[in-house]
Structure 1
């Protein structure tokens, strides 16, 4: 029984990795047979884990959230963790452009979407509070603003190539950080 569970976990992981690669290179509307081919599994195995494309994409979004959560834990109690985690997103967002586009059109009231958004907020909330307390972030920044910030980073996906998208997302991040700083810090930076 344990071996079956381990095999199922491995298959799920391999499918997610394959879907991430295929969707990143060809978009999320590709035939799921390409995901099966990349993963080296049959259609029945794919559908046993993910009944449809939507569930597969939501699982990829959740996997990305867990990577974000792991990065937040790695950052520990750093006062700049909020900004480092935003940069982490800026550096990686171009590789997940298809997922970002899908996220934008999802029904915001669907239970799985609410679950993803709540988890996202759980990850960022303590980091924002710490940055505000350290006076490195404007005191009016709310956790809901992070969704807007990530959407703003996503606008860099309009670049024509992966390199241009990466450059634009980092530039958007740089501009964004200045807007997140407390007014007194921004004025000091201008005075220099």
Structure 2
């Protein structure tokens, strides 16, 4: 029974990886047959795991939240964890532009997205407070600013290729880091 569950979990992860790739290449409205083809599973397997496109996208969003949760745990009590997490957000925008665009475009009151955003804000609260306490960022930064920061990083979506998005994301991170530090450099 355990090996069957492991197989099912592996197939589900394979489908999510395929969807992430396909949506990154063709947008979230890409034909789901492309996901089936990339994952090398049958249509029935796709629909057994994800009854529709919305369920597939919801699972991708949840996987992103889970990755952030794991990354926060891996970084532990590091004072600079906030900046590492922002770099990871930028990488996700570079690698999964369609999902990042979907995350930004969906109405903020959509229940799934609302819970995901609130969870991410909660996860980033401690890293923000540590960065403030260590003097790494301005004291008025709060977890509610994360949506604004995410939107600024989202400007990298203007890049048509992965390389263009990487250049834009790198520059956005440079500007954000300066802005997050505020007047800290002038006081030193």
Alignment TM-score > 0.5, same fold:
yes
User: 1:66 aligns to what?
Assistant: 66
How far apart are the structure 1 equivalents of 2:105 and 2:71? 27
User: 1:133 aligns to what?
Assistant: 133
How far apart are the structure 2 equivalents of 1:187 and 1:103? 36
User: 2:168 aligns to what?
Assistant: 168
How far apart are the structure 2 equivalents of 1:167 and 1:81? 22
RMSD, aligned CA: 1.6
Q: How does 1:3-82 map to 2 (within 5 A)?
A: 3-82=3-82
Q: CA deviation at 1:8?
A: 1.7
Change in Cα spacing, 1:142 to 1:17, as seen in structure 2 (3 Å) is same
Q: Given that residues 135 and 182 in structure 1 are in contact (C-alpha distance below 8 angstroms), is that contact kept between their aligned partners in structure 2?
A: no
Q: Does 1:123 align with 2:107?
A: no
Q: Given that residues 178 and 186 in structure 1 are in contact (C-alpha distance below 8 angstroms), is that contact kept between their aligned partners in structure 2?
A: no
Q: CA deviation at 1:165?
A: 1.0
Show structure 1 runs of 5+ residues with no match: none
Count of aligned pairs: 188
Structure 1 range deviating more: 124-133 or 2-11 = 2-11
User: 2:85 aligns to what?
Assistant: 85
Q: How does 1:85-104 map to 2 (within 5 A)?
A: 85-104=85-104
What is the TM-score with the length of structure 1 in the denominator? 0.91
How far apart are the structure 2 equivalents of 1:80 and 1:157? 25
Q: CA deviation at 1:188?
A: 5.0
User: 1:150 aligns to what?
Assistant: 150
What is the TM-score with the length of structure 2 in the denominator? 0.92
Q: How does 1:100-111 map to 2 (within 5 A)?
A: 100-111=100-111
How far apart are the structure 2 equivalents of 1:67 and 1:96? 14
How far apart are the structure 2 equivalents of 1:160 and 1:37? 24
How far apart are the structure 1 equivalents of 2:54 and 2:102? 9
